[in-house]
Amino acid sequence: MKGKSKKIVIILSIILMSIILIYMAMYFSVYRLDFNMKNFNSYESKYLDIYENRRYIYIEPKGISKPSTGIIFYPGGLVEEETYLPLLVELSKDGYGVYVIKSLMNIPILNSDSAENIIGENKFENYILMGHSLGGTSLLKYFSKQTNNSKKVDGIILLASYSDGKYIFDSQRNDNYKRDIPILSIVGSNDNVINIDRYEKDKINLPYNTEYVVIEGGNHSYFGNYGKQKNDNEADISLEEQQYNTLKEIEEFLNESNVN
């Protein structure tokens, strides 16, 4: 009996050690912000209120009436949440409340339903779901469930992202979707991380009126401020230019879709 107990202890120890090693490998693989967060907060605090809890970072503009629309952002896989703040604070300055979701081990697919609880707080009248890379796939997984809360979503923005092919969001091909909400899909022409063949094939699963935009010279990594992602191509434009062009496309999409 003692021998059997000892064997169980050894097996459990091996499993625990494996979990720890996997966690450490993932932790040290995370793409982290490449700017000074203290200086960033000091500057942006003049214009924005930034709050943080264990579930998300929340950004709200100062000195204007309460926003009517919230943007819920899903970061890319293994990318630190704060790396997207330089782009997202500009959307908040446009008058939106912006949530940046935190995920277990920085893997958004593990927290794909995060938007459900945020929308359930009823802070805003309507919401936009936005995500980068695996974050976009994660929000589409959530939206595909068509919950009562997800019905408050009035638009989706995908940055270098697509669904995993299991979900059809086109009402002409799927009776679950009675409305084809506006969707904007943006990719960089130099992106070497996204599977472009899969991206093209997945277009059939999105509404017929989905807007597709290519940022010429942009890559996969420059939607956030975390340096160059493994296997990505070099961009032919600066990080600032890619994010400026991305912001303008998003602003135009939101204005034309009357989502504000």
Q: In Å, how far are 124, 129, 157, 175, 232 from 185, measured between CA atoms? A: 24, 12, 6, 23, 19
53 vs 7, more confident: 53
pLDDT of 41 reads 84
What is the rounded CA–CA span in Å between residue 128 and residue 150? Answer: 10
- The amino acid occupying position 162 is Y
Q: Are residues 2 and 96 in the same domain?
A: no
pLDDT band at 24 (very low <50, low <70, confident <90, very high): very low
pLDDT band at 234 (very low <50, low <70, confident <90, very high): very high
Q: In Å, how far are 88, 137, 158, 212, 238 from 129, measured between CA atoms? A: 13, 11, 8, 16, 26
What is the rounded CA–CA span in Å between residue 68 and residue 229? Answer: 35
Q: Are residues 41 and 163 in the same domain?
A: yes
What is the rounded CA–CA span in Å between residue 171 and residue 145? Answer: 14
Q: Are residues 109 and 212 in the same domain?
A: yes
pLDDT band at 27 (very low <50, low <70, confident <90, very high): very low
Average pLDDT over residues 9-35: 56
Q: Are residues 9 and 95 in the same domain?
A: no
pLDDT tens track for 176-206: 777 779 999 999 999 999 999 999 999 988 9
Q: In 10 A of CB 61, how many CB atoms?
A: 20
Q: Are residues 4 and 71 in the same domain?
A: no
Token pair, residue 169, equals 């969001």
Q: Total structural domains in the chain? A: 2
What residue numbers bound the domain in which 12 lies? 1-30
